[in-house]
Amino acid sequence: MTIKTAKLGVISSGRGENLRYILQAERDGWLPGRVVLVLADQPDAGALRIAGEFSVPHQFLDPGGQTRQEYDRQLVDRLEEADADLVVLTGYMRILSPEFVRHYKNRILNIHPALLPSFRGLDAFSQALEYGAKWTGTTVHVVDEDVDHGPIVYQRPVPVREGDTHDSLKARIQRAEYKAYPRAIKMFIEGNPRIEGRRVVWKRDERRAEG
């Protein structure tokens, strides 16, 4: 994928605060991409409100009464109409169908509140606390057909402090996410990587190997 200025299609279910920081990085001229569409599966998703604040086209798509495949075809149709190059998930709580993942193969990014492969799935904050982990963090990865599994683009570690609660750890990881996601998207656009199995191979690494 060769992209100079990427068109980003964002899909969300919740608060959308990661979207705010992505849009701010775009507006500041730091991110070589432009959010062209925001879609949500919840009518009250914060991402829709934030998209409105930034005058970005946005739409609620009701998943009710549809199979996962039927709903994902709607998503693809909207994203194709917007000519999106890269799909960015921000707190999207539905599992994408294999058909969707194949359509945008190696062009879907997601963020997870843990250092994958540790603490996959729901409530990674509680998982880290229950396990007694000393470090956790956040991971931006390429989406494949398994949950929280695709090749890792970028990770940002966060210490687990003595006396941390679910809420205190969650707040600290979320602050790390606000920095990590725009950085990872920028890396992915500018780095024009190739996916080899579980590895993200960057052009700079190829040049070093050739040298």
Residues annotated as catalytic (active site), given as ranges: 112
Rounded Cα distance, 96 and 106, in Å? 14
Cβ pair 77, 50 in contact under 8 A: no
- Strand pairing report for 194-196 and 199-201: antiparallel
Distinct helix (H) and strand (E) counts, the chain: 7, 9
Of 103, 104, 72, 99, the residue nearest 87 (C-alpha): 104
- Through-space distance between the first and last CA atoms of the chain, rounded to whole angstroms: 23
Give the largest CA-CA distance in the chain. 56
